[in-house]
Amino acid sequence: MKKQRILLFGYGDHGRHIAKGLAEDGFEIKIVESDQTYFRKAKEDGWIDVEIVDVKSDALLKLLEPETFDQIVCVMQDEHLNVFLTLSLRSLFKESYIISISDSIHTTKKLKMAGANKVIDLYEVSANKVFNIMKKPVSTKILEGFIRNREGIILKEMTIPKDSFLDGMHTDALDISSYGILLIGMIDEELGHGFMFITTGIDHKLDVGDTIVCLGPHEKLHAFEAAIAKSTETEAIAYFENMLKRVTEEEE
């Protein structure tokens, strides 16, 4: 079976992790950089198909033949350059599938306007978006690399303990955004051991022994895991806030 070819622009903080993840998953990667430092780093890491190119030049972009690749990934370290590159690629290669990475809501809007087919932005992600993204293997590896490279952002599994205030609650009625974390999915023991994404229109009843999977900063996830042992949500919130306060005081 022919390997999918990925043209990856950028080998900075995010690009390095993304390149490694895609290669491990069997994709053929070509890396393009405009910065000498990142170019040298890619070569030092053992990448063979690496080029240093002025990505502001349409003529040089055309020489890369992006239209021959299955996917184009824009993850330049400079977010302004990343937007400019996305815009240039969309203008030059109208049929290409372009995935861009964003660090902020403002940049996400710019990338969408620039013509990216898919913009992965951790701050706008929702359970439904994660479900849709993860159905596509290339985007899955990109999202994994993006999360791994954001300091402190992790995915965590939590088992609902006996007497937890979560026992008996329905996912449609559950809002944990106030804890600063996101519910991604769950494993319902009554329905088997398969993982289910929390998506719009699908409601599940939580029971003792069920496992929920959440995304967020590690300190908030650990505090929430401890808080769900409380029998009421009022107690859980108070316990959660006290735990975070102690962590902050210890760091200071």
pLDDT at 152: 60
Dihedral sign (CA 189, 190, 196, 198): negative
Half-sphere exposure of residue 88: CA atoms within 13 angstroms, side-chain side: 18
Burial of 26 (0-12, 13-18, 19+ CB in 10 A): exposed
Give me the helices (H) in 101-176, please. 105-114, 127-134, 137-149
For the chain, how far is it from start to end, CA to CA, in angstroms?
A: 55
99-115 per-position pLDDT tens digit: 998 877 678 888 888 99
Give bridge partners of residue 217 from the DSSP assignment: 153
Q: Which two tokens stand for residue 199?
A: 């998506």
DSSP 8-state code for residue 59: H
Measure the CA–CA gap between 183 and 199, rounded to whole angstroms: 10
138 and 100 Cβ atoms separated by less than 8 Å: no
Domains of the chain are: 5-149 (3.40.50.720), 153-251 (3.30.70.1450)
Ranges in the chain, pLDDT < 70: 1, 105, 122-153, 188-203, 251-252
Measure the CA–CA gap between 162 and 141, rounded to whole angstroms: 36
